[in-house]
A and B are shown apart, each in its own frame.
Chain A
């Protein structure tokens, strides 16, 4: 069955088309100007970052063959043909991985406790004084903007080489990040219970303990678990600057071209991170139900 579709007369159509083109042209011009600006910025950036495409093409084969090399044993065989030889240092590496996990655990816990102590002062609805809130907020901002590894570099100078510097660096960075998130949860809390507790003549401390804390503690634990996940990643590189964990071993293997060791350590790190991600995900789902903030 064919249906006749009525077409507007020529003049009417021309006018409509012109209006449409004009509207689209303006949009296109804006898009074009934006694209030109963006490409100019990219070219500037490419000059600034000394991007040399010739180097990239010349050496891109190296990148591919690097993975070929790290997957080859000294004997010339593929690594998975001889797992015993590949993972020869598994005991040492597992111990270092354990240290990495401990660093992130202890760091996260210290950070979470510090953030817990500070966040009531940083939240708008519970802070006892504006100047206190301002100070605490700036402090938290500073702690989370300075990258953790910069703290680690400075702490290695102060506390000496070793995991202690890594723990403290992670603790400070977590305090900043968690303090902000915790304060946001508190700002979203219902204030009526606080009024109720307040009307009985309770002090500020009791208000926080009996009115705010029961509402927010689940969110706190959820965020702290999430932070732990992130910190495991971060503490795996703390060893690069001498702050403990598996990073030290990895950086030595990469710098000294112990190819198969690199892949073995990377494999162990990635598997550990997978396991931690899955476990904390499961724990969060179990503790707070499916719809917990992720």
Chain B
């Protein structure tokens, strides 16, 4: 029996150090990152005033509040709350529709396959980005200054903040559209507007419809909170009841929001599938 030659491990180790031992930098990277993350976390806890005693006292208080919330009870203001909920749903629907109507033409300007020159596209995109960077609640405050307290300010706030988000999503949908249809329209003598109307829109509209439905859904959530700053809807009632410590009414209002969101979720899910089929909505 022939004995196998033993490999010279020392020489191999010298030749391929990485195969025997991961380099120190690679081994230390993950623990170092974890330590750094923890250090920032501890600093944050300290800086934000987390104290065990305060935390425990707060938890006790929270437990007490939760006990006070049971059972949920609207008292005598159920009609008022239902009206507020209707207001919230109206705000979501109107705000999203207006936003989509405004965003569609602007998104054409931000799409690479419609407007090739960077010099127009870039400012439009940055403009949309900065609108998106400002939260809906901030827009609500601004609009309250302009049209006064009430649900109308909420509609306008949702409209502006969604204008930014939808403009970006629409332009991405347009950029993802197939070029061949557009070329076909051009080949048969269509103008630039014809290309958009007959080449692009049939491809893009179902995607856009899906996105708008999805936004109506998520705006039901946003619309339920913009009342906190005074822009109408159920959030106004909720903030008021929290401030006067009517916890049973608070839990009832929260339940109402949850049920409404679930219902809108269900309906728009059905509609979405009816419009675009069982494709994923992104």
Contacts and interface: CB of A to CB of B under 8 A. Distances in A.
Interface residues of B, number: 63
A49 B94 contact: yes
A102 to B, nearest CB: 4
Contact of B152 (A56, A149, A158, A160): A56
B19 interface: no
B44 A45 contact: no
B48 A42 contact: no
Interface in A236-291: 236-237, 240-241, 244, 250-251, 254-255, 257, 266, 269-270, 273-274
Contacts of B245: 157
B266 interface: no
Contact of B41 (A47, A109, A150): A109
Nearest to A245: B48
Interface stretch (B57-65, B109-117, B187-195): B57-65
Interface in A202-238: 233-234, 236-237
Interface residues of A, number: 58
B89 A45 contact: yes
A55 B147 contact: yes
B263 interface: no
Given A105-B44, A162-B49, A254 B142 contact: yes
B146 A62 contact: yes
A271 B40 CA distance: 22
A220 to B, nearest CB: 13
Nearest to A62: B146
A266 B141 CA distance: 12
B238 A159 contact: no
A45 B90 contact: yes
A55 B138 CA distance: 21
A127 to B, nearest CB: 23
Contacts of A274: 129, 133
B58 A164 contact: yes
A154 interface: yes
A234 B147 CA distance: 25
B204 interface: no
Contact of B49 (A142, A164, A254, A273): A164
Interface in B136-185: 137-138, 141-143, 145-148, 150-152, 154-156
Contacts of B135: 233-234, 236-237
A63 B143 contact: yes
A240 B229 CA distance: 8
Given A63-B146, A154-B242, A237-B135, A164 B232 contact: no
Interface stretch (B1-9, B72-80, B253-261): B253-261
A10 interface: no
Contacts of A244: 48
28 contacts: A42-B94, A42-B97, A45-B90, A45-B94, A48-B90, A48-B151, A49-B87, A51-B94, A59-B147, A60-B146, A63-B142, A99-B48, A102-B48, A103-B44, A103-B48, A147-B221, A149-B137, A150-B228, A150-B238, A157-B61, A158-B62, A159-B55, A162-B48, A163-B48, A234-B135, A237-B138, A255-B141, A273-B133
Nearest to B143: A63
A270 to B, nearest CB: 4
Interface string B230-265: 001001001100100100001000100110011000
A146 interface: yes
Contacts of B250: 154
Nearest to B261: A145
Nearest to A39: B97
B152 A51 contact: yes
Nearest to B45: A106
A66 interface: yes
A274 B134 CA distance: 11
B225 interface: yes
B91 interface: yes
Contacts of B62: 154-155, 158-159
B58 A49 contact: no
B224 interface: yes
A257 B145 CA distance: 9
A174 B94 CA distance: 29
Contacts of B65: 154, 157-158
A159 B50 CA distance: 10
A105 B229 CA distance: 25
A238 B152 CA distance: 23
Nearest to B282: A294
B207 interface: no
